[in-house]
Amino acid sequence: MKKQEKTNVMRLLEQKKLNYRSYEYEAGETAPSGGEVAAMLGLDPDRVFKTLVTVGASKEHYVFMVPVLRELDLKKAAKAVGEKSIAMIKSKELLPLTGYIHGGCSPIGMKKQFVTTIHESAGDFETIYFSAGRIGFQVELAPEDLRSLVDFRLADICVDDR
């Protein structure tokens, strides 16, 4: 039996003695979309969250987590963090800023702790899924357990497309 690899996110969860489940999926040269990851793992895409990093007009950085099939509403996100405006950071800025690459960004274990906001729907679920810090790996964790590693708030930050 193949021993499952551990990512730094999984190690941090174990250090805190938090209950989590990890999932592996096949990834090629480029990261699959969040919707593709949910489908590959047979998960409800409403419970699978992508981690997005932004920069505000103040030059402060913010992390937002939204369901993989939804889109971050930049106006709602700016309002949620008290900024005049926010924008997505450029892909090339992600690794030096967070330590993660596009498609493998996790709210846990970033180089610096940023103000984090998660779409309010996460509060409807016992557990949510998100990147384990590397393409090909996801973790399932209770939002309240995530709170012991990442200070976050819940807010309506998605485009109203439903």
**Tokens 């996460």 found at:** 122
Give the pLDDT mean for 134-146. 96
Residue-level pLDDT at 29: 73
Task: Of 53, 76, 38, 48, give the one whose Cα is nearest residue 158.
Answer: 76
Q: How does strand 86-88 pair with strand 49-56?
A: antiparallel
For the cut 80, the answer to whether the pLDDT of residue 161 exceeds it is: no
Residue-level pLDDT at 120: 97
Instruction: In the chain, count H helices and then E strands.
Output: 5, 8
Assign 22 to helix, strand or coil: strand
**Tokens 């939002």 found at:** 143
Please give the Cα distance from 84 to 133 (Å, whole number): 30
What burial class does residue 17 get, using C-beta atoms within 10 Å of its C-beta: 0-12 exposed, 13-18 middle, 19+ buried?
exposed
For the cut 80, the answer to whether the pLDDT of residue 162 exceeds it is: no
Question: Measured between alpha carbons, how far is residue 115 from residues 19, 31, 80, 103, 120 in Å?
Answer: 24, 25, 10, 20, 15
**Tokens 């357990």 found at:** 145
pTM of the entire predicted model: 0.94
Q: pLDDT tens across 18-59, in order?
A: 999 999 998 877 789 999 999 999 999 999 999 999 999 999
Q: pLDDT tens across 89-129, in order?
A: 999 999 999 999 999 999 999 999 999 999 999 999 999 99
Residue-level pLDDT at 30: 79
Residue ranges and CATH numbers for the domains of the chain are 20-127+135-155 (3.90.960.10)
> 4 or 54: whose pLDDT is higher?
54
Residue 130 near residue 138, CB atoms below 8 Å = yes
Close Cβ partners of 124 (under 8 Å, ≥ 6 residues apart): none
Residue-level pLDDT at 59: 97
For the cut 80, the answer to whether the pLDDT of residue 3 exceeds it is: no
Helix (H) or strand (E) run with residue 35 in it: helix 34-41
